[in-house]
Amino acid sequence: MTTMTTGSDTLTRDALAVLQPGFVGTTAPDWLLRRIGEGLASVGLFGRNIVSAPQVAALTAQLRAERDDLLVAIDEEGGDVTRIEVRTGSSFPGNLALGAVDDLDLTRAVARELGRRLAECGVNLNWAPSADVNSNPDNPIIGVRAFGADTELVARHTAAYIEGLQAAGVAACTKHFPGHGDTNVDSHHAMPRIDVDLDTLHRRELVPFRAAIAAGSKSVMSAHILLPALDPARPATLSPRILTGLLREELGYDGLIVSDAVEMQAIAGTVGIERGSVLAIAAGADALCVGGGLADEGTVLRLRDALVQAVRDGELAEERLADAAARVRALAAWAQRARAEAATGAAVQEGTAPGATTGIGATTGIGATTGVGADIGLVAARRAARVTASPSWRPLETAPYVATFTPVMNIAVSSETPWSIGAELAELLHGTEGGTFGTDSGAAEVLAAAGERRIVAVVRDEHRHPWMAAALDALLAARPDTVVVEMGVPRAAARGALHIATHGAARVCGRAAAEAIAGV
């Protein structure tokens, strides 16, 4: 393709500096290394780039051979949204599980350990945590990714998470500003609209972001959502009123502002990624996430040239682009220092997660274990699980049949990532078998497949899927001794001989549920 600039001039280097592109492959392609040499200051990693921790460490070392202060970003929330463990499931529960425990030391310790593992792999910017208040129970994109539906709980855990992550030398990126919780539309596919007044926004959505700013979050990610009370014409990512007027001036945030992925349909399907990138930088964004779906050199060059041309045409102030690039480089310098400090033990020491208190009655937390370290994710998952048992319940001693009711996943959750509890339960009850059932399946298919074996029914956001609730109703009517495991947001009533709400579908959440079923 023909380009309009050379790779050496300041304007071009600034345009490259504000991009955070992805790429294809488990080693860096030549084109990416060339562009890093020309000024690209950030790279994003996705599940397609990851095989193992040593491989990621080798990849990041290869990238940093071109530029030692390179920002290497990843979307590693833990829980349902994992990239480092995309093929196995996460060793850490997600935000909803941490919110369910509501122990700030535990949240801080989980984030610290997650950050430590990322830092070992050479990752120094994490597009996490989600600070969204999941106020709409029908939300298809946030759900278990939020700490909960209570504003103050979300705020305090957002701050604790940031403190833990950044103590490990990894910059946090608090998202999705100014709040993606009160919507039933996924911005990957369309433009969500939140019709609430300013008082509600300040009282609910903005409180966790204020907490994040106070906690020193090094970056904030904008959302592709339309909030008419703030700007009736442009979504947050493209709105000067929201990014500059609200976030910078009113809330006093001085760190890096990162856009959510510009190839999402809320941007790509409306103004297009080139125009959207120019408008985002002009509005106050400093970096553009791109490459979850578009991961090639042509995309990088198109966006670079669109920014350069916008400056030359007077549509984008050169000073605004220079300021954005300077903020990216400043964060890269912080990450470089923080990595060195964390390696020498100069960062804040992690706290001890106190044991959970077992409640009175049938519903309790399970596995109330103290301590921090490599197994802190499992510790947290055990404490987050909520178990409701019938009076006649006894742990299973023989292998059951695990029926997993699988909804269509939102795009933030990789289709490669396994979930449910079958594999974990098979380790404890050898001979455990199972199957997956979708919208066209019902109780009859489960009963036929299970035969005489006890059934463990695994659901995910039952309250959002009428077909799933109907299948579970029929299954429980036929087999009241069925065990029910809810691995999404637990809004439906607890039912079954044993009901376990794991508050997420991470691998460790499945392990916690399996232990409860087997009485381990």
Provide the pLDDT for residue 138: 86
Q: What share of the chain in percent tops pLDDT 70?
A: 91
- Terminal-to-terminal C-alpha distance of the chain: 61
| Annotated catalytic residue, options 14, 260, 286, 305 | 260
Closest CA to 299 of 60, 514, 20, 5: 20
89-103, 370-384, 433-447 — which is least confidently predicted? 370-384
Whether 479 maps to a domain, the answer reads yes
Question: What is d(CA 178, CA 167) in angstroms, rounded to the nearest whole number?
Answer: 25
- pLDDT of 429 higher than 90: yes
Distance CA 457, CA 447 (A): 11
Q: In this structure, are 330 and 406 located in the same domain?
A: no
In CATH, what number is assigned to the domain containing residue 111?
Answer: 3.20.20.300
pLDDT above 70 for 369? no
The mean pLDDT value for 54-73 works out to 97
Distance CA 120, CA 168 (A): 10
- Asked whether residue 328 falls in the same domain as residue 400, the answer is no
Residue 64 has pLDDT above 70, yes or no: yes
Q: What's the average model confidence in pLDDT over 416-421?
A: 90
For the cut 50, the answer to whether the pLDDT of residue 370 exceeds it is no
Give a yes or no: residue 91 inside a domain: yes
Q: Out of 187-191, 331-335, 404-408, 490-494, which region has the weakest mean confidence (pLDDT)? A: 187-191
Q: Report the DSSP beta bridge partners of residue 499.
A: 388, 484
The question of whether 499 is a catalytic residue gets the answer: no
pLDDT over 60 at 127, yes or no: yes
Confidence of residue 224 (pLDDT cuts 50, 70, 90): very high
What does the mean pLDDT of the chain come to? 90
For the residues 488-508, what does the mean pLDDT come to? 96
Residue 359 confidence (pLDDT): 24
CA distance 464 to 153: 23
* Residue 366 maps to a domain: no
Query: pLDDT category, 407, cuts 50, 70, 90?
Result: confident
Query: For residue 365, is it within any domain?
Result: no
Same domain, 122 and 264: yes
Mapping DSSP to helix (H, G, I), strand (E, B) and coil, where does residue 192 land? Answer: coil
Structural domain ending residue among the three candidates 286, 318, 343: 343
Distance in angstroms (rounded) separating the CA atoms of residues 196 and 169: 37
* H or E element, residue 241: none
Task: Flag whether 248 is in a domain.
Answer: yes
Which amino acid type is present at position 419? W
Considering the domain architecture, whether residues 31 and 125 belong to the same structural domain is answered as yes
Q: Is the pLDDT of residue 355 over 60?
A: no
Same domain, 407 and 318: no
Mean pLDDT of the region 465-485? 97
Distance CA 122, CA 115 (A): 10
Q: Provide the pLDDT for residue 499.
A: 98
pLDDT of residue 510: 98
On the question of pLDDT at 118 being above 90, the answer is yes
Looking at the fold, whether 185 and 275 belong to one and the same domain comes out as yes
Percentage with pLDDT > 90 across the chain: 81
Checking if the pLDDT of 77 tops 90, the result is: yes
Whether the predicted pLDDT of 142 surpasses 80:
yes
Count how many residues are written for the chain: 520
Q: Would you say residue 367 has pLDDT above 50?
A: no
Of 116-130, 357-371, 418-432, the poorest mean pLDDT is in 357-371
22-28: average pLDDT: 96
Q: Measured between alpha carbons, how far is 101 from 382 in angstroms, rounded to an integer?
A: 10
Query: Is residue 362 in some structural domain?
Result: no
* Cβ-Cβ contacts under 8 Å for 480 (sequence gap 6 or more): 496, 497
pLDDT band for 342, please (50, 70, 90 cuts): confident
Closest by CA to 417, choosing from 118, 85, 94, 91, is 85
- 357 occurs within a structural domain: no
Q: What is the pLDDT of residue 341?
A: 82
For residue 473, what are the domain limits?
385-518
Q: Are residues 248 and 117 in the same domain?
A: yes
375, part of any domain = no
State the pLDDT confidence band at 339, using cuts at 50, 70 and 90: confident
Task: Supply the CATH number for residue 487's domain.
Answer: 3.40.50
Q: Within a 10 A sphere around the Cβ of 24, how many other Cβ atoms?
A: 12
Examine the domain organization and report whether 117 and 215 are in the same domain: yes
Is the per-residue pLDDT at 394 higher than 90? yes
Determine which of 53-67, 168-182, 284-298, 347-361 has the lowest per-residue pLDDT on average.
Answer: 347-361
Query: How high is the pLDDT of residue 349?
Result: 38
SS (H, E, C) 95-119: HHHHHHHCCHHHHHHHHHHHHHHHH
- Same domain as 48, residue 173: yes
Domain end call among 282, 313, 343? 343
User: pLDDT tens digit string along 225-276?
Assistant: 999 999 999 999 999 999 999 999 999 999 999 999 999 888 888 999 999 9
pLDDT of residue 189 exceeding 60 = no
Distance CA 62, CA 411 (A): 29
Catalytic site residue from 157, 176, 180, 188: 188
Active site residue 481: no
Same domain (yes/no): 330, 391: no
Domain boundary among 320, 343, 366: 343
The domain total for the chain is: 2
Where b means 16+ CB within 10 Å and e means fewer, 314-352 reads eebeeebbbebbebbbebbebbbebbeebeeeebeebbe
- Kind and range of the H or E run holding 130: none
Q: What is the average per-residue pLDDT within 300-325?
A: 97
183 and 283 belong to one structural domain: yes
Instruction: Clarify whether residues 333 and 446 are in a common domain.
Output: no
Best CA proximity match to 472, nearest among 446, 507, 450: 446
